[in-house]
Amino acid sequence: MMAGNRFCLTTPAYYVNDVLHIGHAYCTIAADIIARYRRFAGEEVLFITATDEHGQKIEDAAKDLGLEPLELADRIVAHNKRVWEKLNISYDDFIRTTEDRHIKAVEYIFNALYEKGDIYKGMYEGLYCTPCETFCVESQVDGNNCPDCGRELKKLKEESYFFKLSKYREQLLTYYEKNPGFMKPSSRRAEMINIVKGELKDISVSRTAVKWGIPVPFDKKHTIYVWFDALINYLSAAGYRNDAEKYSEFWPANLHLIGKEIYKFHVILWPAMLFAMGLEVPETVFGHGWWTVEGEKMSKSKGNVVDPVKMADTYGVDVFRYFLFREVPFGVDGDFSEKAMVTRYNTELANDLGNLLNRTLTMLEKYYDGEVPQDSGSKDEFREMIEKSSEAIKGFYGRHEIGSALAEIMKIVSGANRYIESSAPWKLAKENDGKLKDVMYNITEAIRIITLFIMPFMPRTAEKMWEQLGITEKISDMTVDDTAWGGIKPGMKVNKGAPLFPRSDPNQ
What Rg do the C-alpha atoms of the chain give, in angstroms? 26
DSSP reduced 3-state for 194? helix
Which CB atom, from 16 or from 412, has the smaller least distance to ligand MSP? 16
Nearest of 101, 82, 19, 96 to residue 52 by alpha carbon:
96
Out of 7, 15, 84, 457, which residue is the one contacting ligand MSP (CB under 6 A)?
15
Which CB atom, from 26 or from 110, has the smaller least distance to ligand MSP? 26
Which CB atom, from 328 or from 471, has the smaller least distance to ligand MSP? 328
262 binds ligand MSP (CB under 6 A): yes
**Contact criterion met (CB below 8 Å) for 160 and 205:** yes
CB of 46 to ligand MSP, least distance (A): 16
Helix (H) or strand (E) holding 154: strand 154-163
CA atoms within 13 A on the CB side of 98: 17
Helix (H) or strand (E) holding 448: helix 435-454
Which CB atom, from 124 or from 228, has the smaller least distance to ligand MSP? 228
Which CB atom, from 71 or from 296, has the smaller least distance to ligand MSP? 296
Which CB atom, from 192 or from 298, has the smaller least distance to ligand MSP? 298
Could you give the maximum distance between any two Cα atoms of the chain, in Å?
88
Query: Binding segment for ligand MSP among 8-16, 306-314, 364-372, 404-412 (CB under 6 A)?
Result: 8-16
**CA-CA distance, 157 to 168, in Å (whole number)?**
26
Query: Binding segment for ligand MSP among 6-14, 171-179, 274-282, 304-312 (CB under 6 A)?
Result: 6-14
Chain residues 184-243 in contact with ligand MSP, contact rule CB under 6 A: 230-231, 233
* Alpha-carbon distances, residue 227 vs 123, 231, 495 (angstroms): 19, 6, 53
What are the residues whose beta carbons fall under 8 Å from the beta carbon of 37, sequence distance 6 or more? 397, 456
**CA-CA distance, 35 to 32, in Å (whole number)?**
5
CB of 373 to ligand MSP, least distance (A): 47
Chain residues 27-66 in contact with ligand MSP, contact rule CB under 6 A: 27, 52
CB of 25 to ligand MSP, least distance (A): 9
* Alpha-carbon distances, residue 425 vs 417, 420, 437, 443, 502 (angstroms): 12, 7, 9, 11, 24
**Contact criterion met (CB below 8 Å) for 146 and 137:** no
25 binds ligand MSP (CB under 6 A): no
Residue nearest to ligand MSP (CB): 23
**CA-CA distance, 443 to 451, in Å (whole number)?**
12
> Residue 138 gets which letter from DSSP?
G
Cα distance from N-terminal residue to C-terminal residue, the chain = 51
Out of 217, 259, 370, 487, which residue is the one contacting ligand MSP (CB under 6 A)?
259
CB of 205 to ligand MSP, least distance (A): 14
Chain residues 263-302 in contact with ligand MSP, contact rule CB under 6 A: 290-291, 298
**Contact criterion met (CB below 8 Å) for 88 and 460:** yes
**CA-CA distance, 359 to 378, in Å (whole number)?**
24
Give the x-and-dash track for 469-488 against ligand MSP (CB under 6 A): --------------------
Residues 202/203/208/210 CA torsion (nearest 10 deg): 180
CB of 80 to ligand MSP, least distance (A): 10
CB of 231 to ligand MSP, least distance (A): 5
CB of 180 to ligand MSP, least distance (A): 23
Which CB atom, from 287 or from 425, has the smaller least distance to ligand MSP? 287
CB of 227 to ligand MSP, least distance (A): 7
Q: Distance from CA of residue 200 to its chain's centroid?
A: 30
Which CB atom, from 52 or from 438, has the smaller least distance to ligand MSP? 52
Q: Which phi and psi (to 5°) does residue 155 adopt? A: -85, 135
24 binds ligand MSP (CB under 6 A): yes
**Contact criterion met (CB below 8 Å) for 367 and 436:** yes
Which CB atom, from 275 or from 290, has the smaller least distance to ligand MSP? 290
Nearest of 257, 250, 218 to residue 236 by alpha carbon:
250
CB of 95 to ligand MSP, least distance (A): 11
> Residue 243 gets which letter from DSSP?
-
Give the x-and-dash track for 96-135 against ligand MSP (CB under 6 A): ----------------------------------------
CB of 448 to ligand MSP, least distance (A): 34
| Residues of the shown chain interacting with ligand MSP in the complex, contacts defined by CB under 6 A | 12-15, 23-24, 26-27, 52, 230-231, 233, 258-259, 261-262, 290-291, 298
